[in-house]
Amino acid sequence: MVSHIFVLGVIQALRAVLGGAAGGFLIYRSFVIPLDWQSRLEPGDRNAFRAAGIVFLVLAVLRGFQGLLVLLEVAASRRRENTPFRSRGRLTRRMGLALAIFDLVDLTFFPVTTACGTYGLLVYRHPDSLDFFEGAFEARPPADLRARPA
């Protein structure tokens, strides 16, 4: 499960870089528009580019922060540190769930965001992931998924 969590952290970090670049480009374009395009602009186009760029940048910052927290948690678990960081683990998992749910309903880049959102929900809702983030690095084994006799 830790490998899935690591991959999800890398995906979030990569999406943060790409989202930041797209947001920066949209904000740049809201101020610097080529002369041949200016005759075709509607009155609110500059503000629409600026607003879309700001939304992309905010999401990029959130994804980057969450991806960094995930990668730090995975690195700490590989070093076998005994500091649980439960509050940071809870924040990381809940932020990941919120971003995954947002990705499911985000239609801007439909196939990519839906796949990332589904993968995020599968990873963050798994019982081993819950143990990893909220009971992180304890000596007890991960949750037993086998059916217990009644």
The domain spans of the chain are: 2-34+43-134
Mean pLDDT over residues 96-119, rounded?
76
Cα(128)–Cα(135) distance, integer angstroms: 10
Q: What is the DSSP string of 76-141?
A: HHHTT-----HHHHHHHHHHHHHHHHHHHH--TTHHHHHHHHHHHHHHHHSHHHHHHHHSTT-SSP
| Cα-based angle 70, 104, 52 (whole degrees, multiple of 5) | 90
DSSP 42: -
pLDDT digits (tens, 9 = 90+) for 48-104: 888 989 998 998 898 888 888 888 887 777 776 555 555 677 778 788 878 887 877
Section 118-142 average pLDDT: 70
- 80: alpha, beta or left, given left = phi > 0 and alpha = psi -120 to 50? left
pLDDT(7) > 80: yes
Task: Note the pLDDT of residue 21.
Answer: 93
Predicted local distance difference test score (pLDDT) of residue 139: 47
